[in-house]
Chains A and B, each alone.
Chain A
Amino acid sequence: MVKKRKIETILIIEDEAEVRNFASRVLELEGYHILQAKDSEMGVMLVKEVPVSLVLLDLRLPEHNGWEVLEQIKSEPELSEIPVIVFTASAEVSPRERAFEMGATDYLVKPLSAARLRETVARVLSREK
């Protein structure tokens, strides 16, 4: 949209195809470059291989390894600066707090609207600059 802005790459790690599609499409429409991963393995691989500006991470990946992905990103010096927005399945406070403790930048609670998604992403990215 804004010409002077460099195109940012956002990695979405989400196992639910339709949620993943939705997030990707909204952010594409917002002018971001999107990478999709349907599981943690693929997500970790991509974040290591491709320089990304932001990671959207579903904490409730099968076998609970969304948390492991978060831990891995935050524990590797080269990756730890990448902001991570987590999807939490519930409105419960404790997983959210735990995510913040582990280094998450922000969180989004499902179900979420297109507006909420793009605003949160925009806010996090502008703050990073």
Chain B
Amino acid sequence: MAVISSQKTRARDEIRTKDQLLEELVRMRRRLTELEVSESERRRVEEALRVAERDLRNSLDNSPLGISIIDAAGNTIYANQAILDIYGCSSVAELKATSAMERYATESYAEQQERARKRGAGETVPDSFEVSIVRKNGEVRHLEVFHREIMWGGEKQFQTIYQDITERKRAEEELRQSEKKYRQFIENALEGVWAIDADAKTTFVNNRMAEMLGYTVEEMLGRHLFSFMDKRGVEIAAHNLERCRRGTEGQVEFEFLRKDGMRIYTRFSTSPIVEDAGCGGVLAFVEDITERKQAEEALKESERKYRDLADLLPQTAFELDRVGNLAFINLNSIDLFAHTLEDSDKGWSILKMFVPDDRNRVGVDIQRVLSGGKLDGIQYTAQRKDGSTFPVLLYASPILQKNKAVGVRGIVVDITERERAERKMIEYEELNELKSNLLSTVSHELRTPLAVIKGYSTMLLDYDRRLGPEEKEQYLASIDGATDRLTELVDCLLDMSRLEAGLLKLEKESVRVSELMEKSVAEARLRAAGHEIVLDLRKRLPTVTIDAKRIRQVVDNILDNAIKYSEKGTKILVQARRTGAKLLVSVADQGIGIPAEEVERVFDRMYRIEQRLASESEIGGVGLGLAICKGLVEAHGGRIWVDSKLGKGSTFYFTLPIDTASKGRRHGEEA
């Protein structure tokens, strides 16, 4: 702009200079006629005049500005080289041959005509204007024209000075286009644009900004930045704004209330507006980050939800970092494993959750997860802070970021209850199988004596006359025997069910064990004459308070077993002695013995050793005998067990508690 102005000034100066020169010329001519007196003087003056004229002509011809002299009719009297160059003509004649209509662009021609009309009508016409001309080669150029009246050759003519301003026009147009482009860009930007002055009054907002806040652009102009905020927003903004002004902070967040009252979150990318008067205003590009904020809030909420759930989880949920240090553990587990909350913060290792024996294995497995593996319920033994242990399953998978394991996330599940339930289930299944076996055995054992009774009694009825008296007696005896077997079987079943239901009533009395043993052995000797049954009783056996009938049942049963499972002629040793506060009874045989793997099971219901040696009519084949013995001994507060060697024989033991009174007497004796 400054350059252009100085050119204009120079042009005016030149015009002034030329005017002065012309006046000088006229003056000199006047003087020439006055001084015609002297020829030599005249020649000298003429010479000077010629020089002045040539100089003047030179100056006009070579002026970079186009200069022409035009008469009132519009004919070109003079045109310098610059004019010819502007029009692209090679001579004044050529220029003259070109009509004004051809020379001027259509619009400029019309203006030219109008100016001519006005001049003709004596109206004032501006002596400076712009025209667009068409060069010989068709190119359009823009000229600034200065038009004024001068005296030329003693007559009133018009001097016209042209300056080519095509380049300037183009630059101005480009600037205008560029400004328009940027304004459009800002007006229609997807981001809000907001400018405030030093007083934080709005000086500019674009459509997007206004729309963001629910106002029109006009409504916002002139309003204070804070007037779009509530108290909370202002508090945040006051602090941030100061930093923006100083230019120390490029990006800040502001909260606004929309015209409709909704809160929005924005991010301002700011730059201070620096003016000559100093800094004050701020220009900002504004992004609506409400949705992002809300998403962040939702994410936080979701995180909180999972954390809360993890804390509620009655199991251990944890996260490890990439080197295996504990990064997170739910509250529940802190209670269980760590001594304090701080323990869990300072490098408390997950390994401490397991018994020392398992730690190596856990460490190796965790490493496996860190290299991308997965643990799908590996069993370990966990250790609580109080030292107690419990079985757990560890489930873990890697925490992946861009397909790389950056940690481990897992759950430790306490399976104490599950294992207990599983054991219960197995027990239950075993019991069920036992019950069904028992039923089948009992039905067989019941059916056999029933078959005897039914068979023989129908025979006696059907073949009475054909049977001899001895035969009949034999059948009746068999029926009698079968009835006894049934009775015993029923008793046995009743005992078992009473024991199981805890309904067995013991009729306890103070009993001398030696007497009981002697009777039992004496009867056994009668039943099994082939065996050598030896009774070894220590002297002064203490008295015991027992249900004599029941303990007798136990001794008989064990003795019967000894007889049943050992060969005739072998020895059976029955002993009773005191050990500590207990009376110990043992029955040792030299029979077939019990396989080691079955020793544990002999007292189970339904256990029955293979009956190869058992005689066919033996009673108690249901397999409840020893189970009942166990129940009876335990009901007396005693214990029953067996030592056995396969092929060598078995020794059954049982204990009974000694009366406290009896114990006291014994102490007395010893003292």
Residues of A with Cβ closer than 8 Å to B?
A: 15-19, 22-23, 25-26, 29, 38, 60, 62, 89-90, 110-115, 117
Task: Please name all residues of chain A whose beta carbon is closer than 8 Å to the beta carbon of B450 when the two chains form the complex.
Answer: 110-111
- Residues from 438 to 453 in B contacting A, C-beta threshold 8 Å: 440, 443-444, 447-448, 450-453
Residues of B with Cβ closer than 8 Å to A?
A: 440, 443-444, 447-448, 450-456, 458-459, 461-463, 466, 478, 482, 611, 616-617
Q: How long is the Cα–Cα vector from A74 to B478 in the complex, in angstroms?
A: 35
Q: How long is the Cα–Cα vector from A19 to B451 in the complex, in angstroms?
A: 7
A-B contacts, 7 listed (Cβ < 8 Å):
A22-B455, A29-B463, A111-B447, A112-B451, A113-B454, A113-B458, A114-B461
Given contacts A62-B611, A110-B447, contact A18 B452 (CB under 8 A): yes
Assess whether A111 is in contact with B453, with CB atoms less than 8 Å apart.
yes
Assess whether A23 is in contact with B455, with CB atoms less than 8 Å apart.
yes
Give the Cβ gap from A18 to chain B, nearest Cβ, in Å: 5
Given contacts A29-B463, A60-B444, A110-B450, contact A16 B616 (CB under 8 A): yes
Interface residue SS majority, chain A: helix
Assess whether B463 is in contact with A18, with CB atoms less than 8 Å apart.
no
Q: How long is the Cα–Cα vector from A57 to B456 in the complex, in angstroms?
A: 19
Give the Cβ gap from B450 to chain A, nearest Cβ, in Å: 4
Give the Cβ gap from B277 to chain A, nearest Cβ, in Å: 111
Task: Please name all residues of chain A whose beta carbon is closer than 8 Å to the beta carbon of B459 when the two chains form the complex.
Answer: 22, 25-26, 114
Task: Please name all residues of chain B whose beta carbon is closer than 8 Å to the beta carbon of A111 when the two chains form the complex.
Answer: 447, 450-455
Assess whether B482 is in contact with A115, with CB atoms less than 8 Å apart.
no
Q: How long is the Cα–Cα vector from A110 to B454 in the complex, in angstroms?
A: 9
Task: Please name all residues of chain B whose beta carbon is closer than 8 Å to the beta carbon of A114 when the two chains form the complex.
Answer: 455, 458-459, 461-463
Q: How long is the Cα–Cα vector from A49 to B611 in the complex, in angstroms?
A: 28
Task: Please name all residues of chain B whose beta carbon is closer than 8 Å to the beta carbon of A90 when the two chains form the complex.
Answer: 440, 443, 447
Given contacts A89-B447, A90-B443, A114-B463, contact A18 B454 (CB under 8 A): no
Q: How long is the Cα–Cα vector from A15 to B614 in the complex, in angstroms?
A: 13
Give the Cβ gap from A115 to chain B, nearest Cβ, in Å: 6
Give the Cβ gap from B487 to chain A, nearest Cβ, in Å: 17
Give the Cβ gap from A33 to chain B, nearest Cβ, in Å: 17
Q: How long is the Cα–Cα vector from A69 to B437 in the complex, in angstroms?
A: 23
Give the Cβ gap from A35 to chain B, nearest Cβ, in Å: 18
Assess whether B443 is in contact with A89, with CB atoms less than 8 Å apart.
yes
Q: How long is the Cα–Cα vector from A98 to B463 in the complex, in angstroms?
A: 34
Q: How long is the Cα–Cα vector from A77 to B456 in the complex, in angstroms?
A: 37
Task: Please name all residues of chain A whose beta carbon is closer than 8 Å to the beta carbon of B447 when the two chains form the complex.
Answer: 89-90, 110-111
Closest-by-CB residue of B relative to A26 is: B459
The listed residue with most A CB atoms (<10 A of its CB), out of B454, B482, B611, is B454
Task: Please name all residues of chain A whose beta carbon is closer than 8 Å to the beta carbon of B611 when the two chains form the complex.
Answer: 62
Q: How long is the Cα–Cα vector from A54 to B459 in the complex, in angstroms?
A: 21
Give the Cβ gap from A61 to chain B, nearest Cβ, in Å: 11
A19 in complex: contacting residue of B448, B462, B466, CB < 8 Å: B448
A22 in complex: contacting residue of B444, B456, B466, B617, CB < 8 Å: B456
Assess whether A19 is in contact with B443, with CB atoms less than 8 Å apart.
no
Q: How long is the Cα–Cα vector from A89 to B448 in the complex, in angstroms?
A: 9
The listed residue with most B CB atoms (<10 A of its CB), out of A38, A89, A117, is A89
Q: How long is the Cα–Cα vector from A111 to B459 in the complex, in angstroms?
A: 13
Which 8 pairs of residues, A with B, have the shortest CB-CB distance?
A111-B454, A22-B455, A113-B458, A111-B451, A114-B458, A110-B451, A111-B450, A18-B452
10 further interface pairs, Cβ-Cβ under 8 Å (given A110-B448, A111-B454): A15-B616, A16-B448, A16-B451, A18-B451, A18-B617, A38-B616, A110-B447, A110-B454, A112-B451, A114-B458
Q: How long is the Cα–Cα vector from A102 to B459 in the complex, in angstroms?
A: 31
Task: Please name all residues of chain B whose beta carbon is closer than 8 Å to the beta carbon of A15 when the two chains form the complex.
Answer: 616
Q: How long is the Cα–Cα vector from A90 to B455 in the complex, in angstroms?
A: 16
Closest-by-CB residue of B relative to A63 is: B610
Given contacts A15-B616, A16-B616, contact A22 B462 (CB under 8 A): no
Give the Cβ gap from A87 to chain B, nearest Cβ, in Å: 9
Assess whether B444 is in contact with A89, with CB atoms less than 8 Å apart.
yes
Closest-by-CB residue of B relative to A87 is: B451
Task: Please name all residues of chain B whose beta carbon is closer than 8 Å to the beta carbon of A18 when the two chains form the complex.
Answer: 448, 451-452, 455-456, 478, 482, 617
A17 in complex: contacting residue of B456, B463, B617, CB < 8 Å: B617
Give the Cβ gap from A65 to chain B, nearest Cβ, in Å: 14
Give the Cβ gap from B619 to chain A, nearest Cβ, in Å: 13
Task: Please name all residues of chain B whose beta carbon is closer than 8 Å to the beta carbon of A38 when the two chains form the complex.
Answer: 616
Q: How long is the Cα–Cα vector from A38 to B456 in the complex, in angstroms?
A: 19
Task: Please name all residues of chain A whose beta carbon is closer than 8 Å to the beta carbon of B461 when the two chains form the complex.
Answer: 114
Task: Please name all residues of chain B whose beta carbon is closer than 8 Å to the beta carbon of A25 when the two chains form the complex.
Answer: 459
Assess whether A115 is in contact with B616, with CB atoms less than 8 Å apart.
no
Assess whether A112 is in contact with B463, with CB atoms less than 8 Å apart.
no
Q: How long is the Cα–Cα vector from A62 to B613 in the complex, in angstroms?
A: 13
The listed residue with most B CB atoms (<10 A of its CB), out of A15, A26, A117, is A26
